[in-house]
């Protein structure tokens, strides 16, 4: 590790002010950022810990019936809620107990790792990402590998999830990292089905539109017959080829539909 300054604000206003300094970086649960610092892949001069900012923690239902999850809420807390079971199940399978007790949804969403689980939940649910500066639809927020709509110093304060009629998340986990080699989140709403895929693409999380169209007409595994996910732009590495990941997308989508139905 290298030398840096650390600030521990207890209010959102103080956190925002601290991040206005030159070369400052917000620190959520640190499950991604700290390893990044250790490898010198990022070297900010100042870290601003959000762990003491209670304003961005907690889970509730708003007047519109959406599940509102504070950006500082841990995976473990999300796994314990019962309003959105598919989201709880997703959170309960992230990493190990140590990661789930420290990592936060805001940190994960802001980082947008191409193999992270929450971006798939946000995209499939049609969630809204709320920050200290505005609101973003999930379809507009995730812009590519490790890239989002966030400006420098902008903080994810809340994620608002519409709760679908049925939903399920399936992931084929890489045993060492527990990140999904491929993860698929399927959510059925009254006006249609959304299918989001993570872990597979070089460009990060994306929606499988062909499956959405088929499942919106017939929410069953049979609707996927004759469909195949394209391998173009998918990741090839020592864990699996692009073709293998394309195969997994269809398999896991079918499993998610079966479990949700």
Give the domain range for residue 36: 1-49
CA distance 75 to 93: 9
In a domain, 45, yes or no: yes
SS3 49: strand
Structural domains of the chain, count: 2
The 3-class SS string of 187-198 reads EEECCEEEEEEE
Helix and strand totals (H; E) in the chain: 10, 14
In a domain, 111, yes or no: no
In a domain, 245, yes or no: yes
In a domain, 205, yes or no: yes
In a domain, 209, yes or no: yes
Q: What is the pLDDT of residue 43?
A: 81
In a domain, 83, yes or no: no
φ, ψ at 95 (rounded to 5°): 55, -135
Closest CA to 112 of 144, 151, 79: 144
CA atoms within 13 A on the CB side of 135: 8
Q: CATH number of the domain that 237 lies in?
A: 3.30.390.50
Residues 67, 59 contacting (CB under 8 angstroms) = yes
Task: Note down pLDDT in tens along the chain; length 261 residues.
Answer: 678 788 999 999 999 999 997 788 888 887 777 777 777 767 887 889 999 999 999 999 999 999 999 999 999 999 999 999 999 999 999 999 999 999 999 999 999 999 999 999 999 999 999 999 999 999 999 999 999 999 999 999 999 999 999 999 999 998 888 889 999 999 999 999 999 999 999 999 999 999 999 999 999 999 999 999 999 999 999 999 999 999 999 999 999 999 998
Q: CATH number of the domain that 21 lies in?
A: 3.30.43.10
Q: Which long-range contacts (CB under 8 A, 24 or more apart) does 55-64 make?
A: 55/11, 55/12, 55/157, 56/12, 56/106, 56/155, 56/156, 56/157, 56/158, 59/83, 62/160
In a domain, 68, yes or no: no
Q: Can you state the percent helix, strand and coil of the chain, rounding each to 5? A: 35, 25, 40
CA distance 203 to 145: 5
> Cα torsion for 11, 96, 42, 139, to the nearest 10°?
-70
Residue 28: how many CB atoms within 10 A of its CB? 26
């Amino acid at each position: 590790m290298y030398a840096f300054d650390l600030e521990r604000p207890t209010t959102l206003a103080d956190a925002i002010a601290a991040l206005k300094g030159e070369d400052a970086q917000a620190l959520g649960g640190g499950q991604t950022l700290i390893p990044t610092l250790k490898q010198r892949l990022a070297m900010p001069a100042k870290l601003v810990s959000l762990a003491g900012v209670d304003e961005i923690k907690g889970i509730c239902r708003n007047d519109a019936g959406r599940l509102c999850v504070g950006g500082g809420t841990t995976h473990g807390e999300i796994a314990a809620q019962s309003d959105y079971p598919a989201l709880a199940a997703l959170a309960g399978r992230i990493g190990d107990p140590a990661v789930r007790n420290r990592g936060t949804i805001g940190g994960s969403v802001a980082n947008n790792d191409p193999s992270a689980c929450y971006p798939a939940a946000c995209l499939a649910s049609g969630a809204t990402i709320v920050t200290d500066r505005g609101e973003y639809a999930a379809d507009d927020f995730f812009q590519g590998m490790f890239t989002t709509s966030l400006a420098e110093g902008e903080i994810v304060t809340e994620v608002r999830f519409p709760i679908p009629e049925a939903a399920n998340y399936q992931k084929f986990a890489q045993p060492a990292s527990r990140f999904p080699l491929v993860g698929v989140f399927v959510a059925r709403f009254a006006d249609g089905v959304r299918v989001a895929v993570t872990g597979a693409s070089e460009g990060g999380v994306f929606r499988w539109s062909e499956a959405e169209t088929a499942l919106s007409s017939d929410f069953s595994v049979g609707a996927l017959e004759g469909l195949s996910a394209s391998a173009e732009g998918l990741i090839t590495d020592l864990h699996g080829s692009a073709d293998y990941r394309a195969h997994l997308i269809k398999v896991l989508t079918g499993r998610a539909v079966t479990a949700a139905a």
